[in-house]
Amino acid sequence: MKTIIEPFRIKSVEPLHFNTALERSQIIERAFYNPFLIHSEDVIIDLLTDSGTSAMSSKQWAGLMQGDESYACSPSFYHFENTVRRITGMEYIIPTHQGRAAENILFTLLGGKDKTVLSNTLFDTTRANIEFTGARGIDLPCPEGKIPSKPSAFKGNIDLDALQAHIKTIGPEKIPMVIMTVTNNSNGGQPVSMENIRNASLLCKQFQIPFFIDACRFAENCYFIKIREKAYATYSIEEIAREMFSYADGCTMSAKKDAFANIGGFLAMQNPDLAQKCRNLLVITEGFPTYGGLAGRDLEAIAIGLEEVLDEHYLQYRIRSIEYLAQKLMDQNIPIMQPAGGHAVYLDAKAFLPHIPVDQYPGQSLVCALYIEGGIRSVEIGSLMFGTYEVHSTSKVLIPAKLELVRLAIPRRVYTQSHIDYVAEVIIEVWNKRNTLTGYAITEEAPLLRHFTAKLKPI
Given the rule CB under 6 A, which residues bind ligand PLP? 51, 98-100, 123, 125-126, 181, 185, 214, 216, 254, 256-257, 265
Instruction: Name which of 281 and 330 has its Cβ closer to ligand PLP.
Output: 281
Instruction: Name which of 53 and 360 has its Cβ closer to ligand PLP.
Output: 53
Any residues with CB less than 8 A from the CB of 167 and at least 6 apart, and which? 118, 175, 203, 207, 209
Instruction: Name which of 309 and 334 has its Cβ closer to ligand PLP.
Output: 309
64: enclosing H helix or E strand: helix 58-66
Asked whether the beta carbons of 370 and 426 are under 8 A apart, the reply is yes
CB of 33 to ligand PLP, least distance (A): 23
Instruction: Name which of 226 and 257 has its Cβ closer to ligand PLP.
Output: 257
CB of 158 to ligand PLP, least distance (A): 14
CA dihedral 77, 78, 80, 86 (to 10 degrees): 160
* d(C-alpha 313, C-alpha 237), whole Å: 11
CB of 254 to ligand PLP, least distance (A): 3
Any residues with CB less than 8 A from the CB of 349 and at least 6 apart, and which? 362, 363, 365, 366, 380, 382, 404, 405, 406
Instruction: Name which of 301 and 456 has its Cβ closer to ligand PLP.
Output: 301
CB of 446 to ligand PLP, least distance (A): 17
* d(C-alpha 381, C-alpha 406), whole Å: 6
What are the DSSP calls for 346-403, one per residue? Answer: EEEHHHH-TTS-GGG-HHHHHHHHHHHHH-EE-EEESHHHH-EEEE-SS-EEEE--S-
Instruction: Name which of 264 and 439 has its Cβ closer to ligand PLP.
Output: 264
CB of 253 to ligand PLP, least distance (A): 8
Instruction: Name which of 192 and 368 has its Cβ closer to ligand PLP.
Output: 192
Asked whether the beta carbons of 385 and 367 are under 8 A apart, the reply is no
Nearest to 366 by CA among 395, 346, 386: 346
Degrees to nearest 5, angle at CA 91 with 218 and 314: 25
CB of 100 to ligand PLP, least distance (A): 3
Q: Which single residue brings its beta carbon nearest to ligand PLP?
A: 99
457: enclosing H helix or E strand: strand 455-458
CB of 52 to ligand PLP, least distance (A): 7
In DSSP terms, 142 is beta-bridged to none
* d(C-alpha 238, C-alpha 312), whole Å: 10
CB of 421 to ligand PLP, least distance (A): 26
Instruction: Name which of 256 and 297 has its Cβ closer to ligand PLP.
Output: 256
Question: 41: which DSSP letter?
Answer: G
